[in-house]
């Protein structure tokens, strides 16, 4: 029997922002989505979708459009610039100004060689994508009113734009425009929020009346109007087969329109657009829709949830809740402390404690003999947004990163005769390069992922910080995530080529793990047994012995393929940790569950005896919602504890302590604006 004290942390005030726009890259199956705080998230959707990287933003920045041009990512916003992002270092590669001020929309041409941007002042800017960035190609004649959305024709000769009271079809060859004007009703202007164009020059527009209009692009006249929503349609996407259009908006309903050939006496052979499917998968305004060539639909909006759905040949809907980016939660195991990153401040908490007594505890909720204590609150000067934070295992050293600048502090915990204090390490060596990730390697060593693809091992003292060693990845590789063993001797790095490199920090030796076809989602190091455990997006888990330099027997015999219990889960593994006192257990978690993997069959219940391991959580649970969530799945090698709340972080702290940082979805709902009200029949 293994008994743990689980620190259930629900006070982390994580406030995800609404999704603004999205773009999908077919070749690498990556989805870029921007949020209201200006950050851009890169989701890898090759297997199970997972958040691969976050490009940080700020409150002042806005991203109104993102576009992939091959492997390159561009964004535009109200600052009036088109930015090219460095996906390795999260920096900006190029910045190009746009004619006409704030940019409301951005789209790449079908061949990904051109970018079009629509602006507040009604200018349509065309840029050519070149190796060094983008170059100005042409600006079309100014139109009345802001350009809210645009779409390229497959021939790349035409662009359709959406504006106030009209949609416009632009010919790039002769810079001519065909106006598709919507007469305003009752002196109210009609906003064309989104547009699309089919190969046969049929223009599709969604407007503030909740109507989808199909236009004859050659003539500029409406051919069909379908009322699909009760409020503004904010987004539409045209299927690759040209026979499907998905629309959504303020009325949070995803509607699929199909072009069908109605036969028989009714309408002859004419092809018409009809409503085929309506799905209510969001609670609030849907602002962005993206459709892959294989028919996978991604949707997102004000409710901050990324929804992934597929309607044919079978229906599938999965919601991915927003998750704080890596480097937001750091646990100081030895000191039993927790460092939480808010927007522009850090909070260091000492976890509470329970002193066991001889009396049996009838409840599975333990009495807090010492409550949690907020030891420290650090605010970044000038209110800068903190991108990353890390605390050393003894909670003596705290590091955080603001706009690639590393700041290190020494923390003096409160004592009987002195208050807690914090002192910044001012003496930073000039060799220290700009950083975007950092993890502590034991007490006074810090691994910093430099923007130039180098990992610097820094030695930290009260007075200064110097570079002890530089660990290098393969040329051109950038760090996606790092993980250090608790003793600080081993550093595991996952790079953007999906390779896992294990560094010996002492001597700089490196070892490359065998490459697997799926992308790495989490990695962990067991220092006691010299093991590296890697979780992949297809839910495969592999265990590698650093001592033997090969996969362990457990990995070879049991983890030959993804465990069925894991494959059933909707979200990928986010974190891996170990309990040194129970080396046969691997502690994992994803968004919804805490997962315990048993390496020794006998330890978790013999298959031969037919009695798999069970998880017992006391006699009863006073929290009905929790007890409902406590449905455990047991098998020979795995136990899954489902949680009602979203699990943001789960790991071993020390001895018999575990920590689970969770977010109540209702807490998020309270912060969202009111949802669109629809009539409910029979509501007596």
What residues numbered 222-281 form the site for another protein, per CB under 8 A?
Answer: 222-223, 264-270
Closer to another protein by Cβ: residue 223 or 380:
223
Closer to another protein by Cβ: residue 93 or 225:
225
- Residues 431-460, interacting with another protein (CB under 8 A): none
Q: Which of 9, 73, 335, 444 binds another protein (CB under 8 A)?
A: 9
Compute the least distance from the CB of residue 628 to another protein, in Å.
12
4 interacts with another protein by CB under 8 A: yes
Give 383's DSSP letter.
Answer: G
Closer to another protein by Cβ: residue 74 or 170:
170
677 interacts with another protein by CB under 8 A: yes
605 interacts with another protein by CB under 8 A: yes
CB-based burial of residue 562 (10 Å sphere; 0-12 exposed, 13-18 middle, 19+ buried)? Answer: middle
Closer to another protein by Cβ: residue 19 or 338:
338
Stretch that binds another protein, among 8-16, 279-287, 454-462, 520-528 (CB under 8 A): 8-16
Residue with tokens 């908490």: 349
Compute the least distance from the CB of residue 492 to another protein, in Å.
27
Closer to another protein by Cβ: residue 426 or 616:
616
Give 381's DSSP letter.
Answer: G
300's tokens:
């997102």
Residue with tokens 């979708």: 49
Taking residues 627 to 656 in sequence order and writing x for each that binds another protein by CB under 8 A, - otherwise, the string is: ------------x-----------------
49's tokens:
């979708």
- Residues 367-396, interacting with another protein (CB under 8 A): 367-368, 371-372
With beta carbons less than 8 A apart as the criterion, state whether 502 and 485 touch.
Answer: no
Angstrom distance (rounded) from CA 108 to CA 156: 10
Stretch that binds another protein, among 24-32, 192-200, 215-223, 279-287 (CB under 8 A): 215-223
Compute the least distance from the CB of residue 619 to another protein, in Å.
8
46 interacts with another protein by CB under 8 A: no
360 interacts with another protein by CB under 8 A: no
With beta carbons less than 8 A apart as the criterion, state whether 407 and 420 touch.
Answer: no
| Non-local CB neighbours of 278 within 8 Å, separated by 6+ positions | 253, 254, 255, 256
123's tokens:
């200018």
355 interacts with another protein by CB under 8 A: no
624 interacts with another protein by CB under 8 A: yes
| Non-local CB neighbours of 625 within 8 Å, separated by 6+ positions | 644
Compute the least distance from the CB of residue 622 to another protein, in Å.
4
Angstrom distance (rounded) from CA 451 to CA 401: 12
Stretch that binds another protein, among 126-134, 214-222, 444-452, 455-463 (CB under 8 A): 214-222
SS3 of 42, please? strand
- Residues 321-350, interacting with another protein (CB under 8 A): none
Closer to another protein by Cβ: residue 300 or 612:
612
Total of chain residues touching another protein, rule CB under 8 A? 72
* Cβ count near 10 (within 10 Å): 12
Closer to another protein by Cβ: residue 270 or 315:
270
Give 76's DSSP letter.
Answer: E
Closer to another protein by Cβ: residue 374 or 474:
374
Angstrom distance (rounded) from CA 320 to CA 485: 30
Compute the least distance from the CB of residue 585 to another protein, in Å.
8
SS3 of 537, please? coil
616 interacts with another protein by CB under 8 A: yes
Closer to another protein by Cβ: residue 97 or 188:
188
Compute the least distance from the CB of residue 152 to another protein, in Å.
20
- Residues 581-600, interacting with another protein (CB under 8 A): 596
With beta carbons less than 8 A apart as the criterion, state whether 166 and 181 touch.
Answer: yes
Closer to another protein by Cβ: residue 268 or 475:
268
Stretch that binds another protein, among 40-48, 75-83, 486-494, 621-629 (CB under 8 A): 621-629
Dihedral (Cα; 147, 150, 152, 157), 10-degree rounding:
-10
609 interacts with another protein by CB under 8 A: yes
Q: Which of 607, 611, 628, 671 binds another protein (CB under 8 A)?
A: 611
- Residues 653-672, interacting with another protein (CB under 8 A): 658
| Non-local CB neighbours of 238 within 8 Å, separated by 6+ positions | 151, 196, 197, 198, 204, 244, 245, 291
- Contacts of 363-369 spanning 24+ positions with Cβ under 8 A: 363/618, 363/619, 363/620, 363/622, 364/617, 364/618, 364/619, 364/621, 365/618, 365/622, 366/5
Angstrom distance (rounded) from CA 149 to CA 206: 10
Write the CA distances from 447 to 257, 325, 392, 397, 537, integer angstroms.
52, 18, 11, 13, 26
99 interacts with another protein by CB under 8 A: no
Angstrom distance (rounded) from CA 176 to CA 141: 9
Peptide bond into 179 cis (omega under 30): no
Q: Which of 271, 614, 631, 671 binds another protein (CB under 8 A)?
A: 614
Closer to another protein by Cβ: residue 547 or 681:
681
Angstrom distance (rounded) from CA 159 to CA 173: 11
Give the side-chain half-sphere CA count within 13 A for 617: 18
Taking residues 173 to 202 in sequence order and writing x for each that binds another protein by CB under 8 A, - otherwise, the string is: ---xxxx-x---------------------
Stretch that binds another protein, among 73-81, 383-391, 521-529, 675-683 (CB under 8 A): 675-683
How are beta strands 435-440 and 427-428 bridged, if at all?
unpaired
142 interacts with another protein by CB under 8 A: no
Q: Which of 46, 113, 139, 216 binds another protein (CB under 8 A)?
A: 216
């Amino acid at each position: 029997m293994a008994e743990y004290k689980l620190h259930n942390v629900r006070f982390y005030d994580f406030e995800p922002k609404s999704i603004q726009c999205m773009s999908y890259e077919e070749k690498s199956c990556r989805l870029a989505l921007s949020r209201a705080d200006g950050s851009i998230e890169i989701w890898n959707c090759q297997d199970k979708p997972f958040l691969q990287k976050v490009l940080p933003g700020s409150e002042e920045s806005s991203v109104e459009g993102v576009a992939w041009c091959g492997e390159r990512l561009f964004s535009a916003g109200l600052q009036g610039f088109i930015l090219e992002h460095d996906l390795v270092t999260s920096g900006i590669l190029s910045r190009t100004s746009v004619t006409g001020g704030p940019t409301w929309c951005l789209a790449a041409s079908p061949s990904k060689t051109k970018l079009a941007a629509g602006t507040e002042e009604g200018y349509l800017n065309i840029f050519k994508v070149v190796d060094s960035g983008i170059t100005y190609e042409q600006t079309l004649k100014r139109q009345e009113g802001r350009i809210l959305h645009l779409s390229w024709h497959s021939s790349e000769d035409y662009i359709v734009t959406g504006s106030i009271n009209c949609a416009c079809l632009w010919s790039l060859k002769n810079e001519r425009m065909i106006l598709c004007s919507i007469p305003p009703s009752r002196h109210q202007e009609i906003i064309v929020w989104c547009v699309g164009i089919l190969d046969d020059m049929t223009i599709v527009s969604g407007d503030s009346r909740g109507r989808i209009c199909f236009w004859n692009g050659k003539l500029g006249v409406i051919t069909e109007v379908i009322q699909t929503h009760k409020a503004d349609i904010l987004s539409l996407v045209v299927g690759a087969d040209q026979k499907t259009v998905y629309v959504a908006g303020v009325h949070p309903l995803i509607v699929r329109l199909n072009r069908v050939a109605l036969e028989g006496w009714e309408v002859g052979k004419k092809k018409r657009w009809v409503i085929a499917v309506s799905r209510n998968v969001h609670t609030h305004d849907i602002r962005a829709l993206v459709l892959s060539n294989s028919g996978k639909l991604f949707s997102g909006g004000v409710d901050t949830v990324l929804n992934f759905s597929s309607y044919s040949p079978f229906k599938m809907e999965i919601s991915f809740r927003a998750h704080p980016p890596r480097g937001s939660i750091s646990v100081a195991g030895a000191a039993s402390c927790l460092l939480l990153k808010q927007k522009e401040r850090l909070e260091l908490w000492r976890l509470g404690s329970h002193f066991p007594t001889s009396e049996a505890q009838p409840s599975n909720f333990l009495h807090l003999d010492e409550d949690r204590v907020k030891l420290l609150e650090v605010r970044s000067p000038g209110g800068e947004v903190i991108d990353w934070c890390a605390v050393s295992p003894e909670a003596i050293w705290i590091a955080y990163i603001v706009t690639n600048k590393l700041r290190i502090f020494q923390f003096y915990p409160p004592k009987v005769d002195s208050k807690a204090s914090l002192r910044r390490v001012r003496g930073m060596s000039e060799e220290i390069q700009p950083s975007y990730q950092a993890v502590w390697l034991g007490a006074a060593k810090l691994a910093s992922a430099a923007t130039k693809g180098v990992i610097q091992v820094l030695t930290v003292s009260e007075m200064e910080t110097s570079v002890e060693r530089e660990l290098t990845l393969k040329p051109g590789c950038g760090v996606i995530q790092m993980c250090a063993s608790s003793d600080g001797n081993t550093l595991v790095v996952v790079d953007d080529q999906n390779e896992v490199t294990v560094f010996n920090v002492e001597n700089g030796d490196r070892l490359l793990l065998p490459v697997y076809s799926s992308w790495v989602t989490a990695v962990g190091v067991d220092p006691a047994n010299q093991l590296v455990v890697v979780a992949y997006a297809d839910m495969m888990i592999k265990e590698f012995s650093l001592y033997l330099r090969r996969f362990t027997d457990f990995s070879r015999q049991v983890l030959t393929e993804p465990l069925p219990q894991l494959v059933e889960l909707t979200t990928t593994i986010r974190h891996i940790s170990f309990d040194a006192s129970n080396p046969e257990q691997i502690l994992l978690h994803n968004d919804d569950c805490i997962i315990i993997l048993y390496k020794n069959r006998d330890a978790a219940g013999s298959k031969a005896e037919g009695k798999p391991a069970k998880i017992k959580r006391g006699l009863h649970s006073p929290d009905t919602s929790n007890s409902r969530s406590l449905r455990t799945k047991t098998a020979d090698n795995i136990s899954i504890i489902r949680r009602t709340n979203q699990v943001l972080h789960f790991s071993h702290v020390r001895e018999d302590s575990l920590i689970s940082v969770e977010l109540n979805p209702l807490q998020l709902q309270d912060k969202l604006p009111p949802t669109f009200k629809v009539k409910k029949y029979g509501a007596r």
